[in-house]
Amino acid sequence: MKTSTINLASLLPKTFDELLESKGATFINRAGEENVRQVVVDVLCGSNLRASTEHLTRLRLGKINAATFMVYLCGLQAAKDFSRQLPKMAFENLTNRASKSEKELSKWMIGLTGKSVQNVLRDDDRQLKKYTESFAENLDRLASETAKDSGDLRCVVKSANGKEAVLDWHDLLSLFCTIGSQTLAIRGSEKSTYGKLFERLVLGSVLAALGFEKNWLSAGKNLKSFLALQ
């Protein structure tokens, strides 16, 4: 593997951290209050929560997929072998100090999610190194076999700044792998977030409809926690 020459942090869009955040308040700001109200209404009318929130999940996935594509695009504009540097870069980010966004994206770029790091690699750096090297070799082999089966590929993409990036099979397969792992991770976090958030919102709506009111005085010292649940 080639030595990493690109700083992944410099390629991340400013909105990437926000897209990774899955807390209730952040989710409501991202999805919009009207969308959240509609989901609560749907659930109260008997709809399945997962079906009612699928469009919100797709919205977040679409935005983070687009942001990830821009990372690849900017990376390839900076270095033609960007996708070939990624396994080495990912290993460095996951075993050294790096931001949450860098670590999450690094996992996805080598086909991992948080669960697989814990369950398969068991947070063992030696296993991670072995896995990363194997991943790089397999991706190289897959790109070569795909080129033999489908012919060479040269996909030219021009960004808004007028710069061009050329993607081959290796670049595209690396991107597809990243998007696939990203989708699994985001859907997992969304499932947890929706369950905790809408349980409170639906219950609160039912209690309000029955005539119950908030008692601010009884909240006392727990007022901050009480507000956090809303």
pLDDT tens-digit map of 55-95: 778 888 999 999 999 999 999 999 999 999 999 999 999 99
Alpha helices in the chain (DSSP H): 16-20, 24-31, 33-44, 49-78, 82-95, 100-109, 114-119, 125-150, 169-209, 216-219, 223-228
- 153-208 per-position pLDDT tens digit: 999 998 888 889 999 999 999 999 999 999 998 887 776 666 667 777 777 777 77
Region for residue 180 given its phi and psi (left: phi exceeds 0; alpha: psi -120 to 50; beta: otherwise): alpha
How far apart (Å, rounded) are the C-alpha atoms in residues 130 and 142? 18
Closest CA to 72 of 93, 53, 86: 86
Residues 44, 205: contact at Cβ < 8 Å?
yes
- 106-155 per-position pLDDT tens digit: 999 999 988 787 777 777 888 999 999 999 999 999 999 999 999 999 99
How far apart (Å, rounded) are the C-alpha atoms in residues 170 and 13? 23
